[in-house]
Amino acid sequence: QSAQKGGYRHFMLKEIFEQPTVITNCLAGRLDLKNRTVSLPELDALEIPEQIQIVACGTSYHAGLWGQHLLESWAQIPVRVEIASEFRYRNPIFKSEDMILAISQSGETADTLASMRLAKEHGVKVLGLCNVVGSSVAREADTTILTQAGPEISVASTKAMCSQLILLTLLALYWGRRKQTLPANVESSIITGLLDLPQILEAELPLLRSRAQELAPAYSTARSFFYLGRGMSFPLALEGALKLKEISYIHAEGYAAGEMKHGPIALIEPEFPTFALALNDALLPKTVSNLVEVQARNGKVIALCHSGFDLEVDHTWEIPNAQGPLSTFLALPALQLFAYEMAVYLGKDVDQPRNLAKSVTVE
Ligand code: G6P
């Protein structure tokens, strides 16, 4: 097994560090470099959906929440995202011009499969976004897009989410062009940004890891954590909290920063720190004012922010600037590495966390 870990101490760490390669593999063959457009020929024969219903579980669900933003803003397709175990039991309304997008790393998650089978029974087309060739999702979906992250061994999903986010970005660009809702120059500049990502991330990963190693001891006595974000950073906050729960067993809640005032802020005290996603987007001033509220209640704050933003918090964690939503591909490994280094510092079994399974094939 140690050979398979390629010199890394854990599969999780290896898989986090594979993300630059994963991005390269996900883009391979899916970009028309001459015309600077996305090429997804498997979708060319399909009608553009009127509405998309995303169903997924766990980390894949968070990927769906993130993708909703781009599908709506670039392709102007209304998107709903639901946890598969909820969707399957609530008599959802199906329309034949809609599409179900089932996101699953393993392609074997029971609730996700049941949701897509239900949709098929109602005559709705299913698009699968899946990492495992020949899995149930890949076989049963009407059309499948493979995420090409390679085998993911660590129970806590890392590189698979990265691949899902890349494919969701490509899907939004693709439908945005077909619907003519996205200007060609935006598509082309996002493509440039995507092509630059692997190299930027490769250089950045060791720095992210060092910062995670510095911060972990300072926060290792926390009993609970908030992860706060807004907009596209909200799903990342959910994912950051999930990673910390899964492998370090520290209670963590991902919350929409603007919702804190409606209850959760009552919990803030020095032993209940906040990990804030304070990236430079249109909502940053609002996130910052949410953090001021946390600090006014003596809550400690780590803020993940872009270089050059000198936020007045206990610890800033700077990542390089990337184009718009592509900052996610630097923020996500920071969250993964923070959870990883916390778990290692606390002596937890990173690759085999208690009570968890890689793939949940029963209800
Ligand atoms: C399990 C895994 C998670 C994963 C979830 C959904 O809970 O531990 O890491 O996100 O299942 O899995 P899927 O294979 O459908 O993406």
Q: How much is the ipTM here? A: 0.98
The whole-number average pLDDT for the span 249-267 is 93
Task: Tell me the pLDDT tens digit for each residue of 54-112.
Answer: 999 999 999 999 999 999 999 999 999 999 999 999 999 999 999 999 999 999 999 99
Averaged pLDDT of the chain = 95
Instruction: Tell me which of 11, 60, 165 to substitute to probe ligand 1's pocket, judged by most ligand atoms within 8 Å of the beta carbon.
Output: 60
Q: Is 359 in the pocket of ligand 1 (CB under 6 A)?
A: yes
pTM: 0.97
3-state SS of the chain: helix, strand, coil percent to 5? Answer: 50, 15, 35
Q: Give yes or no: 348 in active site.
A: no
The crossing angle, in degrees rounded to 10, of helices 19-27 and 328-345 is 150
If pLDDT is split at 50, 70 and 90, which confidence band does 192 have? very high
Q: 279 or 309: which carries more pLDDT confidence? A: 279
Find out whether the beta carbon of 153 lies less than 6 Å from any atom of ligand 1: no
Q: Which residues of 282-306 are buried (b: 16+ CB within 10 A; e: fewer)?
A: ebbeebbebbeebeeeebbbbbbbb
Q: Is 2's pLDDT higher than 70?
A: no
Q: What is the mean pLDDT of residues 278-292?
A: 92
CA of 105 to the centre of ligand 1 (A): 7
* Cross-strand bridge partners of residue 101: 54, 127
d(CA 172, CA 346): 40
Q: Is the CB of 164 under 6 A from ligand 1?
A: no
Q: Cα(362)–Cα(187) distance, rounded to whole angstroms?
A: 40
Closest-lying ligand 1 atom to the alpha carbon of residue 106:
14
Q: How many CA atoms lie within 13 A of 177 on its CB side?
A: 21
CA distance 216 to 221: 9
Give the pLDDT band (50/70/90) at residue 1. low
Q: What is the arithmetic mean of pLDDT over 177-183?
A: 95
Token pair for residue 215? Answer: 């911060």
From the CB of 112, is ligand 1 less than 6 Å away?
yes
Is the per-residue pLDDT at 51 higher than 80? yes
Buried b (16+ CB within 10 A) or exposed e, 60-78: bbbbbbbbbbbbeebbebe
pLDDT level of residue 322 (50, 70, 90 thresholds) = confident
